[in-house]
Structure 1
């Protein structure tokens, strides 16, 4: 067995703190600023494990600075699990800030809390935040915040089925020979609640997408892309 296999390594922030004789928090801030490399590669996660034989370097003159907390609006594609280990790496690799058209700054995805989630098979607007006020609005005050969904089901939908979707408000947005599009609005839905209401109404959604949370629409976000909430924007 090689040394690489037997050495579990230590947290990157701990190594940086030891090298610079600074606090762990200051080391995390340096990683967040993009000031730390491991074997010449930019490191973005303070919890990354580094082995004893790996070279950890800090940019000359870098000083730890606290980043302003941010809220992220993400267009989650259907089939993508936001809680899976590779979710943030995929956003960093494949997504971009739709507002500025550029990759994320290191540290933007650190310690982000999901405050408006979706099930794996659902798509649309998901919200992550480092801002306590946003978490309170979307979690503690959830019954006050309206969520709008677009749903597609095979075949026709009658008035009785729309009534059975209560407490959600539902209306038909479009019809074709083979499917019906629905607009469904509900205050503070639990994850999976909209799909459960559909099942109770005898409907089997083929697509379920969240379009809006409160006053915040998903407009302009391509699947897999994200943007930061602007300071003047409110849910």
Structure 2
């Protein structure tokens, strides 16, 4: 047996209040009242005789497709979009964008995606921007038990082959006795771990600190923020 009434978003369109897409946006933002009570649940149903009104300040946000920056904690098993919640938003986010739950959906990801890696992850709903981000270089800081001397490090890593194939181009520098810096372009899954393993270098941790020109900045592990309009990858 079907539920009584019609979807609230459809009824708002029938009344000429807005389009279906706009209706869903207004409902999610808590800007719709039914018989005087705010309704925020998408898919809510109403009867023809019920009074529906938009709160006066209801206007569509300009950010129809958002881009987010997440600091992924180390050894993260959960799906990364699940970190995108109001309570995990960085207090330093100055974008002025109102958080909506739908911002955590339909995201393309780049950055610290390997399970054991931590650091920066870019997440976007903009397909064109996703393609652009995929072309940007990624910078990682790798903590190791003991870093070989610079000349030996280069020789070891440049000689590595993965499954008999030449490894995609990368840069590596020795930062200290315990830290290496990798710059990769379109990395293979677990590329840093595979390179170091075959070169006899034991890894402690891997952290992505930059995607293109965007760095982690003030983000703390588990926090996220919106990409601001002036920022470019």
Residue from 137, 143, 151 that aligns with 2:142: 151
Q: 8 Å contact 2:70–2:122 — kept in the other structure?
A: yes
Name the residue aligned to 1:6: none
Residue from 67, 71, 80 that aligns with 1:75: 71
Cα distance in 2 for partners of 1:94, 1:148 equals: 24
Query: Is residue 136 of structure 1 aligned with residue 131 of structure 2?
Result: yes
Assess, with a 3 A threshold, how the Cα gap between structure 1 residues 86 and 213 changes in structure 2: closer, same or farther.
Answer: closer
How far did residue 18 of structure 1 move?
Answer: 4.3
Alignment of 1:93-172 (within 5 A): 93-100=87-94, 105-107=99-101, 109-117=103-111, 118-139=113-134, 142=135, 145-158=136-149, 159-166=151-158, 167-172=169-174
Name the residue aligned to 1:92: 86
**How does the TM-score come out when normalised to structure 2?**
0.70
**Secondary structure of 1:138 counterpart:** helix
Cα distance in 2 for partners of 1:78, 1:58 equals: 46
Residue from 207, 227, 230 that aligns with 1:229: 227
Name the residue aligned to 2:182: 184
Cα distance in 2 for partners of 1:172, 1:41 equals: 58
1:177-229 CA deviation, whole Å, 9 max, x = no partner?
xxx11111112223422222222222232110001111111122111222222
1:27-48 CA deviation, whole Å, 9 max, x = no partner?
32124434369xx8985x85xx
- Higher-Rg structure is 2
Aligned-pair Cα RMSD in Å: 3.6
**Secondary structure of 1:210 counterpart:** strand
Q: 8 Å contact 1:149–1:185 — kept in the other structure?
A: yes
